[in-house]
Amino acid sequence: MVNTAHLSKVDGAILDKIKQWLGPETDDITRETLKSLIEAGKEEELIDSFYKDLEFGTGGLRGIMGVGTNRINKYTIAMATQGLSNYLLKHYKNEPIKVAIAHDSRNNSDLFAKVTAEVFAANGIKVYFFKALRPTPELSFAIRTLGCKSGVVLTASHNPKEYNGYKAYWEDGAQVIAPHDKNIIDEVQKIKSLADIRFKHEASMIEEIGEDIDELYLKSLKNLSVSPDAIARQHDLKIVYTPIHGTGVVLVEPILKRFGFTNITVVKEQAEPAGNGNFPTVVYPNPEEADALKLAVEKANAIGADLVMATDPDADRVGIAIRNNKGELQLLNGNQTGSLLIHYLLKAWKEKGQFKGNEFVVKTIVTTDLIPKIAAYYGVKSYETLTGFKYIAALIKKLEGKEQFIAGGEESYGYLIGDKVRDKDAIASCAIIAEMAAYAKDKGSSLYDTLLDTYVQFGYYKENLISLTKKGKTGAEEIQKMMKDLRETPPATLAGSKVIRVKDYNDSSWVNPQNGEKGTLDFPKENVLQFLTEDGSLISARPSGTEPKIKFYFSVNEPLKDKSQFEAVSKQLDQKIDRLVTELNIK
């Protein structure tokens, strides 16, 4: 019996949970780890580990790994899987149920994937199990290809090494949405004890997959190529790629070679050994962070490369660097890369005569308005969804058979080309980014000049993101107050321009504060506020759904009459964003 009498700060409810985890349902390692925390008097850590159950949200689980109900571990993973299994069995009564499982390079992801497979199998559900690390978009492809009803990928995306997560997918290969998301959450919340989990299974219920699905996936991606002739002429385009210790190491180089590229340098320090979950060369394995691309940029400068690409651990997002007109490598943000991709694809489709008149592209509400301007020029529909690729996937599904999806994206470095996958896909994105670089070079231009030409043609749209971290209970309350204050006392003017529309997605409403005109928004409800000004500036406030953060998105624009004015106009727009930040008192 473990003595807990010295744990004066730990209340009775938490002690009851601790005692359950010291019981026979857990393994020796878990019990010994927990005993050492108790004996060392680590009260704060014990409280944080057990004061609540790790919340299964609409996207699944994400959290710090460790022992306890508020941590990612084999038991919280198993409880989530038991709840998902229960819902699948209820929803698909008397139907055979198959699921697919993949995992990224994080520490314990392979273990958590194995536990997930075993619990599904113990519930009589057939499992297709990727035997080694694979990208998230390939899981989406596998679900659709193998006729699965659901799927799970073990990943915490770009979070630090201490984190892991569990993302649940539905039969269309997209992350679960209403009503399934809420129904799954209800079933997960019904799992109150480790004794509720089924582990005993038949080994025959789990079938390993790998290279067979890789081949089908790569063939599907190759069909996305629009300009193979340009690649043939520019096949030696110098490309530097880094998987940042993640799953992209498995498929990015193969798809680039399959597209026809012959001069690819992979950053060895971030690729070997494949899938290092300690992410030893970076603080955050996030392609949005300049530091994560530092080694790749250094390698590119050393060899004179034209293009740098970096994918996050589960290879659903990609960051790039291109050479500017001074010969320097310049990082692009997600809005710039997304705009370049959409512009290239629409132009190439038009040149090849591929338009049938029913095509569309998609962006999220916080992604640049440059994209719909480009789409309008080519006569292609542009749709807008809430933030999150599950909403883009839902729109693709809704329009399936009626309209043809070309591409979509969001400012956070996630893009999708074609509809064979239903989540953001950095493998496909790397291939098409390289293709558009080859296309530009083949025309005697560059991606940098293409970007400036786009601004001259459609206007210079510049965006910025400020993300404020507010940890703990007080942080959550502070975020709530910020949103409450913005709703109750919205700004009348911003940076000298009248606010002509306030959109509140929380109650699906909009109002023009200048004349009192009101209307409704045709979107699911989400805690987002947007302010549109008379001069076309757009400011969005959005608390994160997965992290203790509130994000403020800024989009401003000005005409760019000539490329020579780019730096001057860029400076003007930076000053405007600074003024907006000051006026909104964001800190």
**Total tally of structural domains belonging to the chain:** 4
113 plus 126 within the same structural domain: yes
Strand-pairing partners, residue 528, are none
Q: Is the pLDDT of residue 1 over 80?
A: no
* pLDDT reported for residue 275: 86
Hey, what are 349's tokens? Answer: 């489709």
359-364 vs 381-385, strand pairing mode: parallel
Q: Which pLDDT does position 6 carry in this prediction?
A: 86
Of the candidates 282, 575, 220, 258, which has an alpha carbon nearest to the alpha carbon of residue 425? 220
For the cut 80, the answer to whether the pLDDT of residue 327 exceeds it is: yes
Q: Based on the domain organization, do 466 and 430 belong to the same domain?
A: no
What pLDDT score was predicted for residue 328? 97
Decide if pLDDT at 89 tops 90: yes
Does residue 126 sit in helix, strand or coil?
strand
Measure CA 69 to chain center: 25
Same-domain status, 480 and 397: no
Section 543-547 average pLDDT: 73
Indicate if 424 and 484 belong to the same structural domain: no
- The answer on pLDDT for 546 being more than 70 is no
Average pLDDT, the chain: 95
State the average pLDDT over residues 40-65: 89
Task: Specify whether 71 is located in the same domain as 183.
Answer: yes
User: Which DSSP state fits 42?
Assistant: -
CATH of the domain at 160: 3.40.120.10
Task: Check residue 153 and give its pLDDT.
Answer: 98
Does the structure show a pLDDT above 80 at 547? Answer: no
Q: Would you state the structure tokens that stand for residue 338, as one six-digit string? A: 């997304």
DSSP letters spanning 436-490: HHHHHHHTT--HHHHHHHHHHHH-EEEEEEEEEE--HHHHHHHHHHHHHHHHHS-
State which of 20-29, 173-182, 200-209 shows the largest mean pLDDT: 200-209
The helix/strand/coil state of 44 is helix
Are residues 255 and 367 located together in one domain of the fold? yes
Residue that is last in its domain, among 209, 230, 262 = 209
pLDDT of residue 545: 66
Q: Are residues 477 and 521 in the same domain?
A: yes
pTM: 0.95
204 and 222 together in one domain: no
Give which of 284, 269, 573, 217 is closest to 426, Cα–Cα: 217
179 cis-preceded (ω within 30 degrees of 0): yes
Whether residues 388 and 405 share a domain: the answer is: yes
Asked whether residue 282 falls in the same domain as residue 431, the answer is yes
Helix axes 447-458, 334-351, angle to 10 degrees: 90
DSSP 208: E
Looking at the chain, the whole-number percentage of residues with pLDDT higher than 70 is: 99
pLDDT tens per residue across span 368-387: 999 999 999 999 999 999 99
pLDDT surpassing 80 at residue 563: yes
Q: Are residues 201 and 243 in the same domain?
A: no
What's the distance, CA 242 to chain centroid? 18
Q: How confident is the model at residue 254 (pLDDT cuts 50, 70, 90)?
A: very high
Q: Residue 426 contacts by C-beta under 8 Å, 6 or more apart in sequence? A: 135, 137, 248, 252, 311, 312, 315, 316, 317, 318, 414, 415
Q: Does residue 4 carry a pLDDT above 90?
A: no
Residue 7 predicted with pLDDT over 90: no
State how far the Cα of 259 lies from the Cα of 193, in Å rounded to an integer.
51
Structure token digits, residue 47: 């409280």
Task: Return the CATH number at 518.
Answer: 3.30.310
Whether residue 18 contacts residue 50, with contact meaning beta carbons closer than 8 Å, is answered with yes
Where residue 112 falls among pLDDT bands split at 50, 70, 90? Answer: very high
Residues 143-180 have pLDDT tens digits of 999 999 999 999 999 889 999 999 999 999 999 988 99
DSSP per-residue string spanning 73-118: SHHHHHHHHHHHHHHHHHHTTTS--EEEEEE-SSTTHHHHHHHHHH
Neighbours of 327 (CB within 10 A): 8
How does pLDDT run across 474-490, given as a tens digit for each residue? 788 899 999 999 999 99
Q: Is 157 a catalytic residue?
A: yes
Domain stops at, among 440, 457, 474: 457
User: Could you say which of 85, 105, 109, 157 is catalytic?
Assistant: 157
Asked if the model's pLDDT at residue 472 lies above 80, the reply is no
Task: Assess whether 329 and 421 both reside in one domain.
Answer: yes
User: Which residues, including other chains, have CB under 8 Å from residue 327's CB and lie 6 or more apart?
Assistant: none
**Res 5 pLDDT > 90:** no
How many C-beta atoms lie closer than 10 Å to residue 545's C-beta? Answer: 14
The per-residue pLDDT for range 140-152, each reduced to its tens digit, is 999 999 999 999 9
Look at 2-16, 285-299, 362-376 and tell me which has the smallest mean pLDDT.
Answer: 2-16
Q: How far apart (Å, rounded) are the C-alpha atoms in residues 293 and 299?
A: 10
Q: What is the pLDDT of residues 130-142, one digit of tens each?
A: 999 999 999 999 9
Are 389 and 423 spatial neighbours (Cβ–Cβ below 8 Å)?
A: yes
Domain enclosing residue 123, as ranges: 57-209
Calpha distance 522→507 (Å, rounded)? 11
Q: What pLDDT score was predicted for residue 178?
A: 86
Among the three residues 51, 66, 84, which one is the final residue of a domain in this structure? 51
